Amino acid sequence: MDNHKCVLVIDKALPQGLIANTAAVLTLSLGKLHPELIGADNVNKNGEIHTGITSIPIPILASSSHKIKEIRASLKEEATLVDFSNVAQTTKNYQDYSDKLAATRPEDIEYLGIAIYGTKKIINKHTGNLGLIR
């Protein structure tokens, strides 16, 4: 895992609440795909268990929806990708999302964010020019 990296790229035009929600959805889904990214449970001095959290930093980078779509297209064969789109954000439950996505043309999907996990070299090549979200 030393030569691997994880970043989130989120549309900087989103309101803070949607940025937070997008980050939560992306990281939860990425954790399902890569459980090795989650550290072991820890115990404090009083013996209370603290569930393991991510074992690597996850910077949240700012971009535009258009650029996120470009990054997704260029990395889909080179890294693990999890995306969150307007299709998901506008549905009330997972079945609605699945149905709506199945009826949506790829060119009509607006990406609100993407989680990327892969080699540092590949991720830096595609996201190295992006700043942190503020």
pTM: 0.93
Instruction: Tell me the average pLDDT across 6-29.
Output: 97
Domain annotation for the chain: domains and CATH numbers: 4-127 (3.40.1490.10)
Are 84 and 22 a contacting pair, CB within 8 Å? yes
Percent of the chain with pLDDT over 90: 97
Alpha-carbon torsion (8, 68, 33, 125), positive or negative: negative
pLDDT score recorded for residue 30: 96
Residue 46 CB partners (closer than 8 Å, separation 6+): none
- The residue among 24, 13, 4, 8 whose CA lies nearest residue 88 is 24
Scored b (16 or more CB within 10 A) or e, 67-93 reads bbbebbeebeeebebbbbbbbbbeeee
pLDDT score recorded for residue 7: 98
Residue 60 pLDDT > 80, yes or no? yes
Q: Work out the mean pLDDT of the chain and round it to a whole number.
A: 96
Q: Which amino acid is at 27?
A: T
**How confident is residue 2, by pLDDT bands cut at 50, 70 and 90?**
confident
Distance CA 55, CA 34 (A): 11
Instruction: Tell me the average pLDDT across 3-13.
Output: 97
* 92-134 pLDDT per residue, tens: 999 999 999 999 999 999 999 999 999 999 999 999 999 999 8
Residue 14 pLDDT > 70, yes or no? yes
Rg (Cα) of the chain, in Å, rounded?
Answer: 16
pLDDT score recorded for residue 1: 61
Instruction: Tell me the average pLDDT across 21-40.
Output: 96
